[in-house]
Amino acid sequence: MSNMLKNRCLSKAISEASWSEFRNMLEVIVVSKAFASSQLCSACSHQHKEVKSLALRQWNCPSCGTHHDRDINAAINLKKEALRMLKLDALSEASAACTT
């Protein structure tokens, strides 16, 4: 590989391919700012609007009774949303491949 990088003709192509692959590994999923990650119960998806206050660090879901730490619950909900978005993206890519 190091000898290939010394070749001026190949070095740019190899470097660009490597950076491209590296960027693909770091792909980021952006969730909407409007997504209520800390207000949604990660167990039953009930939206508890009183959790908007940043001073409220822990809460119990009024629907299912699950106890939540605000930050951990938000992290779980963001992970679920990102996975949902990835599935939708994969489905749309698959359906686009079928129509072409």
* Binned average pLDDT, 10 residues per bin, the chain of 100 residues: 66 70 73 93 95 92 97 96 89 69
Q: Which long-range contacts (CB under 8 A, 24 or more apart) does 24-33 make?
A: 29/82, 29/85, 29/86, 31/78, 31/81, 31/82, 31/85
pLDDT for the residue 2? 61
Q: Could you give the CA distance from residue 66 to residue 58 in angstroms, rounded to a whole number?
A: 11
pLDDT for the residue 1? 54
Q: Which residues, listed in sequence order, are joined to residue 67 by a DSSP beta bridge?
A: 60
